[in-house]
Amino acid sequence: MLGFRHYSNTPVLFLPMQIVEQIVEMHDWSEAERRQSRRIALIPTMGFLHEGHLCLVRDGKARCDRVVVSIFVNPRQFGPKEDFTTYPRDLARDVRLLEKEGVDILFHPSVEAIYPARAQTHIEVENLSLPLCGAARPGHFRGVATVVAKLFNIVRPHMAVFGEKDYQQLQVIRRMVRDLNMEVEIAGHPIVREADGLALSSRNAYLTPQERGAAVCLSRSLCKADRWFRRGETSGRALLCLVRSELEKEPLAKIEYVKLCHVETLEDIEKVDDAALLALAVQFSKARLIDNRVLRR
């Protein structure tokens, strides 16, 4: 059924969602929309969608005339011992969810389309890619920056929406856009959580029921540190010790890192002045989970 969306002063025809796999077709659609002065929002994903992704979609719909969601499990952001082949996928379910949200285009390219044979070019945001997740996953953010830059070139969005759960990724993309003078507005969306505080993630599907209960320790530890900060604690050492001790109460949780960082450079800091990023990564057998909290006065 056809309908109309109303943004600004011009009604925009709403058509059923299209699934586009070819780069040329995606590019031509975007060019036609741009010629009609319609703003395009892109939500890049790796699929296996959850409510967190759908909140990004709604954010894009509120800001723009057209919404494109990409689903591409990017092999170049997985390490050799990581879960590329087993990463959860369910395209049919994703399509149903996106159709209900009124998405205009699902862009679902093949690996061969994105990375043609003998491709030699990549993008690396050097310093921001090194700490936090970058320390344990060398090359990860090079893969992220490269594929996002390619998606920007193909889709030609006016803006793109990223979740703040992947805070380092968001900062890497923002820096890439600034450094390369890309005409894309980058919007961050607040972390979407379950009722008990666990941040939504596609990798939550790896958790056993027992691990799922234990995983609440991530948000619990961050909330406790935030309370201490609001009561006047500014020592990085004290806040980090608090978070670690809270995580260590869960025997199933293996801490990868707990860091207090500058909100833009991601460099370690020893004391919170106006604002700081408190970030952590924890392994639960098959599931590597991340979470963060910005401590701000």
Kind of pairing between the strands at 275-284 and 185-189: unpaired
Q: Is 53 an annotated catalytic residue?
A: yes
User: For residue 57, which of 145, 159, 149, 141 has the smallest C-alpha distance?
Assistant: 159
Catalytic residue from among 6, 27, 50, 53:
53
Quote the tokens at residue 81. Answer: 């011992």
* Rounded CA separation 105/78 (Å): 26
Residue 271's DSSP bridge partners are: 235
- Are 280 and 169 within 8 A, CB to CB? no
Cα radius of gyration (the chain): 20
Q: How many residues does the chain have?
A: 297
Distance CA 199, CA 191 (A): 7
Alpha-carbon 209 to chain mean position = 25
* Catalytic residue list: 53
